[in-house]
């Protein structure tokens, strides 16, 4: 960063705006959002600025401008519209050691004005260090759409209740209490317009030394998607930002963890096929122990937790102990692979069934019948199938799929090292070996409804590049 973002206190302080035209009026509108004393320095004022003076919302300094005018001011804006005059005024302001913004002259600016989303007292400031103001406005529009207009009122109420919370809620529970206020019952009531219900809920919770929601720990099984950070859902990001501790898998991109709260504990519990340094029962035990301590736990899994993610074992463990647990779905590898290929997993009249299956089974169990649902009209996405590629290919051919039928393998889908390998059923195992594919890969087999064994036709999905 070339500029450090921060908020400047304006209470009881002056902000001096030099200029009496439209540029000065724009800055005045911005500062009117604060409680600063606005001083307009110009020999003449346009109508809007003159009205501010008449309404006692600003003071007018029509005399000579000297460095003394700027001494002790919180900031100054130079906005005459004349580049030469602006440069001269800039020299006077800097002589008084007052932070200054010169409109449309970034080289003369110590301060730049951000795009602002105002939910007083919640304020979001978006800056680009003067390089791309249009981009800043676009980001502002996106934030305006996602930040509820009523959230500022809830924040102001929370500020008035801080002393009561400090007295009524034990220190160890306060973070969870405030998370509950801003994420659950009080916030939901406030944003739907029932402020009385929100206030009552907070006060009742304080009287009870925090509500049950705020006291107890919880677990969220969060899908991190196939790897790319920008494929996380908004809900997944919310849970990461609320988490006290995050238990994450080997395939989770480190960039996803950067979205978490800075002081959240991060615990690696990665597992590799055939080498479980963290067996599932140990993972179950540690996430349960953290939740029992009142922590908000995120179990961050690659892909979608409910698709070959062993979510059911963690769900049952938590529910048996009465720990609240939820699933936050993620983008599964099959969907991400189709997106990378620019194709569809299904096609009307060609493949009207999608099968998600695996090449692996639980330790000690027989290998799964991976291809049992494959047949004309299906697209089969095979997870964790690399080690069993020869068996899977043999089963497909035994079911009637021609050996020359195309297969596509996605390696590290959506991640920087992503690769697509085009092969055939007959050469699947040998091509995987030739490309040294051993781990994170998805095998995609499309079997068109009309494919005949004697004259196989390349499926639309496998042709997409």
Annotated catalytic residues are: 249, 271
The DSSP 8-state label assigned to residue 368 in this structure reads: P
> Which has the closest alpha carbon to 284: 244, 252, 316?
316
C-alpha–C-alpha distance, residues 447 and 461, integer Å? 10
Phi/psi at 306 (5° precision): -90, 5
Q: Could you give the CA distance from residue 140 to residue 116 in angstroms, rounded to a whole number?
A: 7
Cβ pair 75, 8 in contact under 8 A: yes
CB 140 within 8 A of CB 126: yes
**Alpha carbons 338 and 142: distance in angstroms, whole number:** 28
Give the β-pairing of 245-248 and 353-358: unpaired
| CA-CA-CA-CA dihedral for 136, 139, 145, 148, to nearest 10 | -70
- Sign of the dihedral through C-alpha 291, 294, 295, 296: positive
User: 437 with 409: CB under 8 angstroms?
Assistant: yes
Q: Which residue pairs, CB below 8 angstroms and at least 24 apart, start in 48-52?
A: 49/20, 49/24, 49/25, 52/28
Alpha-carbon distance values, 123 to 53, 113, 120, 133 (Å): 27, 13, 6, 18
Strand partners, 123: 118
Q: Is 14:73 a contact under the CB 8 Å cutoff?
A: yes
Q: Using alpha carbons, select from 254, 249, 306, 317 the residue that is nearest to residue 281.
A: 317
Side-chain half-sphere CA neighbours of 450 within 13 A: 8
User: Which tokens hold the place of 43?
Assistant: 């020999």
Angle, nearest 10°, between helix axes 151-160 and 171-183? 160
């Amino acid at each position: 960063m070339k500029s450090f973002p921060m908020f400047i206190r304006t209470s009881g302080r002056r902000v001096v705006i030099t200029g009496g035209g439209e540029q000065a009026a724009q800055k005045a509108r911005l500062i009117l959002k604060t409680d600063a004393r606005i001083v307009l320095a110009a020999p003449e004022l346009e109508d809007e600025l003159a009205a501010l003076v008449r309404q006692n919302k600003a003071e007018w300094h029509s005399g000579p401008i000297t460095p003394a005018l700027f001494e002790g001011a919180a900031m100054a804006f130079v906005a005459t519209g004349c580049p030469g005059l602006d440069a001269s005024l800039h020299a006077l302001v800097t002589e008084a050691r007052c932070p200054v913004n010169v409109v449309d002259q970034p080289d003369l600016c110590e301060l730049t004005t951000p795009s602002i989303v105002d939910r007083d007292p919640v304020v979001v400031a978006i800056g680009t260090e003067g390089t791309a103001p249009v981009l800043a406005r676009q980001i502002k529009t996106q934030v305006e759409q996602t930040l509820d207009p009523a959230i500022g009122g809830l924040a102001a109420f929370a500020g008035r209740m801080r002393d009561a919370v400090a007295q009524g809620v034990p220190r160890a529970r306060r973070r969870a209490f405030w998370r509950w206020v801003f994420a659950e019952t009080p916030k939901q009531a406030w944003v739907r317009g029932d402020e009385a219900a929100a206030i009552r809920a907070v006060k009742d919770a304080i009287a009870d030394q925090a509500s049950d929601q705020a006291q107890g720990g919880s677990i969220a099984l969060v899908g991190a998607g196939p790897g790319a950070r920008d494929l996380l859902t908004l809900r997944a990001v919310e849970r990461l930002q609320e988490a006290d501790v995050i238990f994450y898998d080997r395939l989770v991109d480190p960039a996803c963890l950067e979205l978490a709260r800075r002081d959240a504990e991060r615990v690696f519990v990665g597992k590799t096929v055939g080498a479980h340094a963290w067996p599932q029962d140990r993972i179950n035990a540690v996430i349960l122990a953290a939740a029992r301590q009142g922590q908000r736990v995120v179990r961050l899994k690659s892909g979608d937790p409910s698709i070959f993610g062993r979510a059911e074992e963690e769900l049952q463990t938590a529910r048996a102990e009465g720990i609240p647990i939820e699933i936050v779905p993620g983008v599964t590898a099959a969907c991400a692979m189709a997106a990378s290929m620019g194709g569809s997993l299904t096609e009307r009249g060609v493949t009207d069934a999608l099968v998600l299956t695996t090449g692996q089974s639980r330790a000690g169990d027989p290998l799964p019948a991976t291809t049992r649902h494959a047949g004309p009209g299906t697209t089969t996405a095979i997870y964790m199938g690399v080690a069993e590629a020869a068996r899977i290919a043999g089963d497909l051919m035994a079911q009637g799929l021609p050996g020359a039928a195309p297969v596509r393998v996605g390696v590290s889908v959506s991640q920087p090292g992503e690769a697509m390998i085009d092969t055939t059923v007959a050469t699947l195992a040998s091509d995987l070996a030739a490309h040294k594919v051993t781990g994170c890969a998805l095998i995609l087999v499309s079997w068109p409804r009309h494919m005949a064994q004697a004259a196989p036709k390349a499926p639309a999905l496998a042709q997409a590049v």
